[in-house]
Chains A and B, each alone.
Chain A
Amino acid sequence: MEILGGLGLGLSVVLTPLNLAWCLIGVLLGTLIGVLPGLGPAATIAMLLPATFGLPAVSSLIMLAGIYYGAQYGGSTTAILINLPGETSSVVTALDGYQMARKGRAGAALATAAISSFVAGTVATALVAFLAPPLANIALNFGAAEYFALMVLGLVASVALARGPVLKAVAMVVLGLLLGTIGTDINSGEQRFTFDIPELADGINFVALAMGMFGIAEILTNLDHEASRKPLTRVIGSLLPNREECRRIVGPILRGTGLGSVLGILPGGGAVLGAFAAYAVEKKISKTPQAFGQGAIEGVAAPESANNAGAQTSFIPMLTLGIPSNPVMALMVGALTIQGIQPGPQVMSEQPELFWGVIASMWIGNLMLIVLNLPLIGLWVRLLTIPYRLLYPAILVFCCVGVLSLNNLTSDVYLMILFGLVGYVLVRLDCEPAPLLLGFILGPMMEEYLRRAMILARGDMTTFVTRPISLTLLLLTLAIILVLTLPRVRAKREEAFEEAT
């Protein structure tokens, strides 16, 4: 009852013309920067921060939150249309979304992304409202050992991302882990593999790596096949998923929402696992795993719902503990402190209008986003009818400007170009970039947590099995390895059966 009262209070805060307007501005701006590759919500929010000084705290937070989840919506657009994931979360969406687009189903892919995001956003908002305090405790119970076990689980699951040979996928994960070790070692302060280049001291920028390996490499692939590439002169197929597809995405959306919500709560890397994990789960339980990577609609629905659910639940540690779980949340903490509100355990009781207002605005914002985005799909799909010779220079411009806007370092542009070449060479050798990217994201965290766990346990390896959460996660990993190896026989039989008919 108390919660319903809270939500009522929240709605009464949001449903004022002024706050609705700020919410709309936030989600519009978020969609725009999400669509432009490379530009992230963090940079945009930072630039807008001074402009929010004059607003009431609730209004400014409502707008900033809108930018954040609006960007999650927009981010999938370029991933699907031109294989250009501008953010960690849309890497997985690019896998099947782009393949759908190439088969003339861009509209259905975009609509699936929007619908999945909306459902996930709604469910996750409810979770934040009803379970924020108990869920926050999960985050506190996660020590270094638990995180390490979670990372191991994520890495094992990541092999499922590959559609090609398993051995090459494993090698790509390891290569990604190695690339992740480039930069300053946090424990000793030593610089590894930087060759005294100060720009490498903080490691390789993820966006430069992802845009190079996906976006730039894809341009090279397409130009190589230019002669045989069929121009999409008209929009093929319906803009919306058909009845059969709608039925197929229900399960993935619900499972993706669940996984994304739980992982989103964990600060320090949990959230990025959501999309990868959701995709891996769907591929594993699917009756047609071979369709994944070829444009399976489940492969769009699952990661998109996981992303959005995670984006909403990542507010939980910030609102209840005052702990920002990612750079965007750190900015929100900054925005609140400037407003004279110290984010922390007291916000919920001392600032109920703020707490519930932001939560209610999330749902309203998600509603606005789907109403805005569904009609836009037709427009986006029309982009694909632009001849490729005109489209790819534009993609290059957006990549270069976008990557430059991250840290204002031209070295990021050079890195992106370098990884474009590396990515293209690897694709030519049948090595897919997605497992490498996951390894790259998880590598530094895995090492950090492993070493921290060992320091805290004074070198006692049993720490991983004596702590219940860590033990559970490792047992789960073991189960996945077993499942991965056992049903190979069954899958092969099914393939043989299909070929026979």
Chain B
Amino acid sequence: MRHGLVAAVIATALLGAGSAATAQEFPTKPVTIVVPFAAGGPTDTVTRLVAQSMTGTLGQQVIVENVGGAGGTLGAARVAKADPDGYTLLLHHIGQATSATLYRKLSYDPAKDFAPIGIVADVPMTVVARKDFPAADMKALIEQAKAEGDVITYANAGIGSASHLCGMLLMQALDVPLTTVAYKGTAPAMNDLLGGQVDLMCDQTTNTTSQIKGGTIKVYAVTTPERLPSLPDVPTTAESGLPDVQVGVWHGLYAPAGTDAAVVARLEEALQAAVIDPNVTQRLAELGATPATAETATPAALEQLVTSEIARWRPVIEAAGQYAD
């Protein structure tokens, strides 16, 4: 009640002044970026890198707040319902688009309740197997999968994780249901893959590159349109006959819907500066991630990506019949 009253008083006071004046001064206090995952994960790392760079550009502290839980939907819900003043932002990955289908009882609309600011980065994925898995290359893997079917086990890091999404896409492309083994996170799944307890996995280069280089796991393909500079000998899924298996864990920055356009523009400016900041690009490259470009770190590009990804994943998830609630 009191909140409403105070808001009304402030709104009346500001009515004459107009919002353009406040937008020009933005930001006058610290900005918070909500990461909807626990601290230390790849998304958290990306956010902290970007936040540090944006602090410099905006001249105000950009604080990272981890609101983990429920596949990123708790943190996203908090930002969706926050005041649209540009001081509470969300940095979310591909889950922002897939949660629209994975969660049937979402308290917000991932497409409509946010004002996109821009794409931040993209992390490619790799199709990998245990070291002693018989198939020598992707073609042999396809043949083996068609012959053996669910004898082959596929590890994922839990419903809605990048490895889960990639697995659904892979099984759909192969038209073979493999036996899915779910884990709580990438680390235990990778542990079982190293130990030879499961056969296949598809995961972000962040997690797989060093194992591939160390020869502890086998790699079949990268899920990008072109080969990766960090893994030049690994063919793409398209080269190996599975052109539909293309996944990247893209990250986007959002404000709540209704945020003043001038404020969004100021934030976009800071994001644009961050994605060309050598401190950020260099670290992102080390993580195996590709930073966004001047064209993609824009509201229009992110909006288009969210819309197209929601449309793309909806039939895949519905066909698999796997929901997170």
Contacts and interface: CB of A to CB of B under 8 A. Distances in A.
A–B touching in complex (CB under 8 Å) = yes
B40 A46 contact: yes
Interface string B204-245: 001001110111100000000000000000000000000000
A184 B182 contact: no
Instruction: Give chain B's interface secondary structure class.
Output: mixed
A196 interface: yes
28 contacts: A45-B39, A45-B40, A46-B39, A46-B66, A47-B39, A50-B48, A50-B49, A139-B195, A143-B192, A186-B158, A189-B159, A190-B325, A198-B107, A199-B74, A201-B73, A201-B74, A201-B325, A327-B40, A331-B39, A334-B44, A334-B45, A337-B287, A338-B283, A407-B67, A408-B66, A452-B183, A455-B153, A456-B197
B286 A340 contact: yes
A323 B187 CA distance: 6
A140 B68 contact: no
Given A46-B66, A50-B48, A53-B283, A267 B188 contact: yes
Instruction: Point out which of B49, B153, B191, B322 has the most chain A C-beta atoms below 10 A from its C-beta.
Output: B191
B172 interface: no
B311 interface: no
Given A198-B70, A321-B216, 10 more contacts: A49-B48, A186-B158, A189-B325, A201-B74, A330-B187, A338-B283, A342-B209, A345-B214, A448-B184, A455-B181
A30 interface: no
A452 B67 CA distance: 29
A344 interface: yes
Nearest to A140: B195
Nearest to A187: B182
A60 interface: no
Contacts of A196: 105
A256 interface: no
Contacts of B45: 49, 334, 337-338
A43 interface: yes
B179 A201 contact: no
A184 B67 contact: no
A153 B74 CA distance: 36
B100 interface: no
A322 B216 CA distance: 11
Given A267-B188, A334-B45, A455-B179, A189 B324 contact: yes
Interface of A: 42-43, 45-47, 49-50, 53, 139-144, 184, 186-187, 189-191, 196, 198-199, 201-202, 267-268, 317, 321-325, 327, 330-331, 334, 337-340, 342-346, 407-409, 448, 452, 455-456
A141 B196 CA distance: 9
B159 A144 contact: no
A202 B68 contact: yes
Contacts of B183: 186, 452
Given A201-B70, A408-B67, A409-B69, A140 B48 contact: no
B168 interface: no
Contacts of A53: 52, 279, 283
Nearest to A458: B179
Given A186-B159, A456-B198, A268 B213 contact: no
A345 B211 contact: yes
Given A327-B38, A330-B187, A407 B68 contact: yes
A140 B187 contact: no
B65 interface: yes
A42 B198 CA distance: 29
Contacts of B4: none
Contacts of B287: 337-338
A325 B187 contact: yes
Contacts of B210: 322, 342-346
B188 A409 contact: no
A34 to B, nearest CB: 17
B190 interface: yes
Given A186-B182, A321-B194, A345-B216, A43 B39 contact: yes
Nearest to A191: B325
B16 interface: no
B184 A334 contact: no
Instruction: Point out which of B107, B184, B197 has the most chain A C-beta atoms below 10 A from its C-beta.
Output: B197
A194 B182 CA distance: 21
A184 B287 CA distance: 30
> What are the 9 closest A-B residue pairs judged by CB atoms, nearest first?
A46-B39, A344-B210, A342-B210, A201-B70, A331-B40, A345-B214, A140-B195, A189-B159, A143-B197
Contacts of B42: 334
Given A140-B191, A196-B105, A409-B67, A334 B74 contact: no
A331 B52 CA distance: 18
Contacts of B283: 53, 338
Contact of A344 (B66, B73, B214): B214
A407 B69 CA distance: 8
Contacts of A144: 192, 197
Given A144-B197, A330-B41, A344-B213, A184 B159 contact: yes
Contacts of A331: 39-40
Interface string B107-143: 1000000000000000000000000000000000000
Contacts of A409: 67, 69, 74
B41 A334 contact: yes
B237 to A, nearest CB: 23
Interface string B61-83: 00001111111011001000000
A15 B183 CA distance: 41
Nearest to B287: A337
A323 B191 contact: yes
Nearest to B211: A344
Instruction: Point out which of A191, A342, A407 has the most chain B C-beta atoms below 10 A from its C-beta.
Output: A342
A187 B73 CA distance: 19
Contacts of B197: 143-144, 456
Given A187-B182, A330-B41, A139 B69 contact: no
Nearest to B51: A50
Interface string B138-180: 0000000000000001000011100000000000000000010
B214 to A, nearest CB: 4
Given A184-B159, A189-B323, A452-B181, A201 B211 contact: no
Contacts of B49: 50, 338
B286 A323 contact: no
B182 A199 contact: no
A125 to B, nearest CB: 23
Contact of A330 (B40, B107, B182, B192): B40
Instruction: Point out which of A46, A325, A339, A345 has the most chain B C-beta atoms below 10 A from its C-beta.
Output: A46
A455 B44 CA distance: 32
B187 A267 contact: yes
A334 B47 CA distance: 12
A111 B283 CA distance: 44
A129 to B, nearest CB: 21
A191 B324 CA distance: 8
A184 B42 CA distance: 22
A50 B52 contact: yes
A198 B106 CA distance: 9
Nearest to B38: A327
Contacts of B286: 337-340
B325 to A, nearest CB: 5
Contacts of A45: 39-40
B284 to A, nearest CB: 10
